[in-house]
């Protein structure tokens, strides 16, 4: 016999919730429109284990909870109430009376919608009934395994990609009309949205959250977000959500000391405090918190059809000392600084997500040296399937920021990454973090004259595309935004009217399409035998060249990071035949100076770079060139 709690709650669900195994807790916690005992209304359920009383307050009772006392379900710590006559749009909070008699007004941790800031109440929203059109996309995901397919991510902050006016954001519907076709035209395979979970402060960019289940009302209603994702899938674009399970903000209406005690953040303030960000860490050993967070990951995929999550600040979750002063240091039971509870949580998170969604993307934003982040948990790994390559990003940007005249002394910054490029499944990110807080935009990191900055950015992007690993580029980078990202202002779209910015935009579009159309650049990304240096040690000339092998062909890359050009640069190649230039960053149409029409090079039987065959090419300064070779192509 199935045991039920008041108003149809199942005791089995609450048991799993208390055990940390209710991976769909959003189905019964929070506010749900339903029929109960012949009446239409809304059932509310909230976890507040140490509360003396919990009352429901809102517009419907003039914020007086005296007649809306919630019922505690035995020892579960869950309180429940059914209110007949309520429906979608009802605005509410929980009035929690703590054990000391203090009264707190709290937003619903499981609310599907929140009022638009600065208001902080929760809003009843029914997520059922959306007419999805993406069945083909969802049914064929397994035919596009991420490891052996292109992954080219456009990172977007929804609040500043475009603006209609000051704090007049595009809605999810308007983003569907404008952003989706733009990303498709530019050749991106995925859009990654910076956190959309409800957050009170715009300048947190969504990384300090109060409503984990509520898509931000800045941009509209939940079903409008569904429409946006649906449009992405119809256009053949996947959608990734930047997800923040490591910490939450301290605003009074949020999770902090939710029932008067630290139930989400834990009792030990040394573990809870994140002083660098002014936030609180989740208590990963608390079962109900594990249910809350893993359910949240499942929720975005089940209800909104997100294709994956980018998990923020993994290193901060792993390391008990990271970004903390000595007085907040703690050690684990073995005397180490690894957060064992966080590690167990991440393993269970990935196991659960892949159980329900085997084709999901679970991407770790991790700057640590923790091993086997993208290995399966049964092999001792953390179970993610991709990890940001922060080491490559830091090295290559440091190298590109160096004047070309001095680069010969820093050649290792270009080549070191290939010593570990296949140790994890990597994404190569040029993210928002690299173009804020005085770091300068990617274009403005480049030394030299105005024209040289563009030449070098084109070169950098070419090397990025050709290097093993999946790709991510932050919005604005595609036309060489000159200023840092300004989160309160729209991107500098007007720059497209300027010649070199417009040509940079054209170049990135061409580069993106070359990437997605050339299997050797992604088909064997995890296979070290699919990469081969042609010339790795040419520090004196600051030139590198290498081969990427696909299943049925290969490409040859040559990149010149110096100001010296070469009319007849000889390049060793592995097979005799015709080598077709498929991209040249120095073409006039992209802002360069090369108007030469030669696109095909027949190899000569002249040994070079350790190969029996070679080609002689024109190699401009500060340039990237990509050649394709296919078996049987001789002319």
- DSSP assignment string, 245-290: -SEE---TTSSTTTTSS-TTT-S-HHHHEETTTTEEE--TT-HHHH
Determine contact, residues 443/458, Cβ cutoff 8 Å.
Answer: no
pLDDT score recorded for residue 165? 85
Residues with Cβ < 8 Å from 555, sequence gap 6 or more? 466, 518, 520, 521, 547, 548, 582, 626, 627, 628, 629
Residue 166: band (very low, low, confident or very high) from pLDDT cuts 50, 70, 90: confident
Is it true that the peptide bond before 580 is cis, omega within 30 degrees of 0?
no
pLDDT of 160 over the 70 cut: yes
Structure tokens at 409: 């002394």
Determine the average pLDDT of the residues in 223-241.
98
Residue 634 burial by CB count (10 A; 0-12/13-18/19+): exposed, middle or buried?
Answer: exposed
User: How many Cβ atoms from other residues are within 10 Å of residue 287's Cβ?
Assistant: 15
Strand 308-311 and strand 238-243: the pairing is: parallel
Among 521, 552, 578, give the residue marking a domain's end: 521
User: Is residue 208 included in any domain, yes or no?
Assistant: yes
Determine contact, residues 42/97, Cβ cutoff 8 Å.
Answer: no
Report the DSSP beta bridge partners of residue 83.
42
**pLDDT tens readout for residues 518-571:** 999 999 999 999 999 999 999 999 999 999 999 999 999 999 999 999 999 999
One DSSP character per residue, 53-64 reads: EEEEEEGGGTT-
Q: How far is residue 250's CA from residue 204's CA, in Å, rounded to a whole number?
A: 13
Q: Both 292 and 378 in a single domain?
A: yes
User: Is residue 17 included in any domain, yes or no?
Assistant: yes
pLDDT score recorded for residue 595? 75
User: Is residue 451 included in any domain, yes or no?
Assistant: yes
Determine the average pLDDT of the residues in 232-246.
98
* Numbers of helices and strands, H then E, in the chain: 13, 31
pLDDT of 161 over the 70 cut: yes
Residue 419 burial by CB count (10 A; 0-12/13-18/19+): exposed, middle or buried?
Answer: exposed
Q: Both 215 and 237 in a single domain?
A: yes
pLDDT score recorded for residue 439? 94
User: Is residue 498 included in any domain, yes or no?
Assistant: yes
Q: How far is residue 145's CA from residue 150's CA, in Å, rounded to a whole number?
A: 9
Residue 540 burial by CB count (10 A; 0-12/13-18/19+): exposed, middle or buried?
Answer: exposed
Q: How far is residue 631's CA from residue 563's CA, in Å, rounded to a whole number?
A: 35
Q: Both 115 and 223 in a single domain?
A: no
Determine contact, residues 541/571, Cβ cutoff 8 Å.
Answer: no
pTM above 0.85, yes or no: yes
User: Is residue 143 included in any domain, yes or no?
Assistant: no
Q: Both 109 and 167 in a single domain?
A: no
pLDDT score recorded for residue 597? 57
Q: Both 377 and 460 in a single domain?
A: yes
One DSSP character per residue, 274-338 reads: ETTTTEEE--TT-HHHHHHHHHHHHHHHHHH---EEEETTHHHHHBTTTT--GGG----TTS-SB
Q: Both 217 and 336 in a single domain?
A: yes
**For a pLDDT cut of 70, what percent of the chain falls above it?**
98
pLDDT score recorded for residue 232? 98
DSSP symbol at 159: T
Determine contact, residues 581/627, Cβ cutoff 8 Å.
Answer: yes
Residue written as tokens 């997605």?
Answer: 516
Angle at 113 between CA 109 and CA 116, to 5 degrees: 110
For the chain, the average pLDDT equals 96
Residue 517: band (very low, low, confident or very high) from pLDDT cuts 50, 70, 90: very high
Q: How far is residue 537's CA from residue 555's CA, in Å, rounded to a whole number?
A: 20
User: Is residue 281 included in any domain, yes or no?
Assistant: yes
Q: How far is residue 627's CA from residue 235's CA, in Å, rounded to a whole number?
A: 29
Structure tokens at 430: 């040029």
CATH of the domain at 23: 2.60.40.10
User: Is residue 128 included in any domain, yes or no?
Assistant: no
One DSSP character per residue, 35-76 reads: EETTEEEEEEEEE-TT-SEEEEEEGGGTT-GGG-BPEE-TTS
Report the DSSP beta bridge partners of residue 553.
630
Comparing 120-124, 233-237, 360-364, 594-598, which segment has the lowest mean pLDDT?
594-598
CATH of the domain at 599: 2.60.40.1180
Report the DSSP beta bridge partners of residue 510.
none
What own/partner pairs with CB < 8 Å and gap ≥ 24 does 342-346 have?
Answer: 342/284, 342/317, 342/318, 343/318, 343/382, 344/284, 345/245, 345/284, 345/290, 345/293, 346/311, 346/314, 346/317, 346/382, 346/383, 346/384
Q: Both 533 and 413 in a single domain?
A: no
Q: Both 471 and 605 in a single domain?
A: no
Among 81, 104, 123, give the residue marking a domain's end: 123
Residue 54 lies in domain:
6-123
Residues with Cβ < 8 Å from 208, sequence gap 6 or more? 199, 200, 201, 244, 247, 248, 249, 277, 278, 279
3-state secondary structure of 227: helix
Q: How far is residue 554's CA from residue 498's CA, in Å, rounded to a whole number?
A: 36
Q: Both 381 and 485 in a single domain?
A: yes
**pLDDT tens readout for residues 302-343:** 999 999 999 999 999 999 999 999 999 999 999 999 999 999
Backbone φ/ψ region at 393: left (φ over 0), alpha (ψ -120 to 50), beta: alpha
Residue 594: band (very low, low, confident or very high) from pLDDT cuts 50, 70, 90: confident
Helix %, strand %, coil % of the chain (to 5)? 30, 25, 40
DSSP symbol at 410: G
Q: Both 325 and 384 in a single domain?
A: yes
User: Is residue 260 included in any domain, yes or no?
Assistant: yes
Closest Cα partner for 70 from 93, 89, 45, 49?
45
Q: Both 492 and 345 in a single domain?
A: yes
Q: How far is residue 308's CA from residue 360's CA, in Å, rounded to a whole number?
A: 5
3-state secondary structure of 83: strand
- Positions annotated as catalytic residues are 312, 365
Closest Cα partner for 521 from 473, 572, 599, 467?
467
List phi, psi (to 5°) of 556.
-120, 130
Q: In what order do the strands lie in the sheet with 247-248?
A: 247-248, 279-281, 273-274
pLDDT of 91 over the 70 cut: yes
Domains contained in the chain, number: 3
Residue 167: band (very low, low, confident or very high) from pLDDT cuts 50, 70, 90: confident
Residue 58: band (very low, low, confident or very high) from pLDDT cuts 50, 70, 90: very high
Residue 465: band (very low, low, confident or very high) from pLDDT cuts 50, 70, 90: very high
CATH of the domain at 417: 3.20.20.80
Determine contact, residues 617/579, Cβ cutoff 8 Å.
Answer: no
Determine contact, residues 292/212, Cβ cutoff 8 Å.
Answer: yes
DSSP symbol at 376: -
Determine the average pLDDT of the residues in 72-91.
96
pLDDT score recorded for residue 596? 67
Structure tokens at 635: 């002319």
Continuous segment of H or E residues that includes residue 112? none
Among 72, 104, 123, give the residue marking a domain's end: 123
Determine contact, residues 599/580, Cβ cutoff 8 Å.
Answer: yes
List phi, psi (to 5°) of 104.
-120, 140
Q: Both 449 and 584 in a single domain?
A: no
């Amino acid at each position: 016999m199935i045991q039920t709690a008041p108003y149809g709650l199942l005791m089995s669900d609450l048991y799993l919730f208390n055990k940390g195994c209710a991976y769909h807790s959003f189905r019964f916690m929070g506010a749900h429109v339903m029929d109960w005992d012949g009446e239409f209304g809304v059932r509310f359920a909230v976890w507040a284990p140490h509360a003396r009383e919990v009352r429901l307050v809102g517009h419907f009772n003039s914020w007086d909870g005296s007649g809306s006392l919630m019922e505690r379900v035995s020892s579960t710590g869950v309180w429940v109430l059914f209110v007949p006559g309520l429906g979608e749009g009802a605005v509410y909070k929980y009035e929690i009376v703590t054990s000391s008699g203090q009264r707190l007004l709290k937003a619903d941790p499981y609310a599907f919608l929140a009022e638009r800031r600065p208001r902080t109440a929760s809003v009843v929203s029914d997520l059922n009934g959306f007419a999805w059109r993406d069945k083909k996309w969802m049914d064929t995901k397994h035919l596009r395994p991420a490891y052996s397919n292109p992954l080219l991510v456009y990172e977007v902050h929804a609040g500043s990609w475009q603006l209609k006016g000051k704090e007049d954001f595009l809605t999810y519907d308007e983003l569907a009309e404008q952003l989706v076709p733009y990303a498709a035209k530019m050749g991106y395979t995925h859009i990654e949205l910076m956190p959309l979970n409800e957050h009170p402060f715009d300048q947190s960019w969504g990384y300090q959250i109060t409503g984990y289940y509520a898509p931000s009302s800045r941009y509209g209603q939940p079903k409008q977000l569904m429409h946006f994702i649906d449009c992405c899938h119809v256009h053949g674009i996947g959608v990734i959500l930047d997800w923040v399970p490591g910490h939450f903000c301290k605003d009074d209406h949020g999770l902090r000391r939710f029932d008067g005690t630290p139930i989400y953040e834990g009792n030990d303030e040394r573990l809870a405090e994140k002083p660098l960000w002014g936030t609180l860490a989740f208590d990963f050993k608390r079962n109900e918190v594990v249910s809350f967070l893993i359910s949240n990951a499942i929720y975005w995929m089940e209800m909104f059809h997100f294709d994956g999550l980018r998990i923020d600040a993994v290193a901060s979750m792993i390391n008990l000392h990271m970004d903390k002063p000595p007085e907040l240091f703690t050690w684990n039971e073995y005397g180490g600084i690894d957060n064992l509870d966080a590690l167990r949580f991440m393993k269970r998170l990935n196991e659960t997500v892949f159980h329900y969604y085997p084709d999901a993307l679970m991407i770790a934003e991790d700057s640590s040296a923790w091993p086997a982040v993208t290995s399966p948990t049964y092999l001792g790994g953390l179970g993610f399937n991709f990890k940001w390559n922060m080491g490559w990003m830091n090295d290559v940007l440091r190298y590109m920021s160096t004047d070309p005249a001095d680069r010969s002394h820093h050649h290792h910054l270009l080549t070191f990454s290939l010593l570990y490029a296949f140790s994890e499944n990597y994404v190569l990110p040029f993210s928002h973090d690299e173009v804020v807080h005085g770091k300068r935009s990617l274009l403005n990191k480049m030394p030299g004259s105005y024209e040289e900055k563009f030449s070098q950015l084109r070169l950098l992007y070419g090397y990025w595309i050709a290097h093993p690993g999946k790709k991510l580029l932050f919005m604005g980078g595609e036309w060489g935004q000159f200023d840092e990202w300004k989160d309160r202002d729209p991107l500098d779209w007007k720059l497209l009217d300027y010649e070199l910015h417009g040509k940079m935009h054209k170049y990135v579009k061409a580069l993106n399409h070359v990437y997605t159309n050339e299997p050797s650049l992604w088909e064997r990304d995890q296979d070290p035998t699919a990469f081969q240096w042609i010339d790795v040690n040419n520090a004196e000339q600051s030139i590198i060249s290498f081969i990427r092998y696909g299943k049925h062909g290969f490409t040859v890359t040559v990149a010149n990071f110096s100001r010296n050009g070469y009319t007849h640069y000889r390049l060793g190649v592995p097979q005799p035949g015709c080598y077709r230039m498929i991209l040249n960053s120095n073409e006039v149409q992209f802002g360069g100076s090369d108007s030469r029409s030669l696109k095909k090079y027949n190899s000569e039987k002249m040994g070079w770079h350790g190969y029996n065959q070679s080609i002689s090419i024109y190699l401009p300064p500060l340039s990237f060139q990509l050649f394709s070779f296919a078996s049987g192509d001789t002319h």
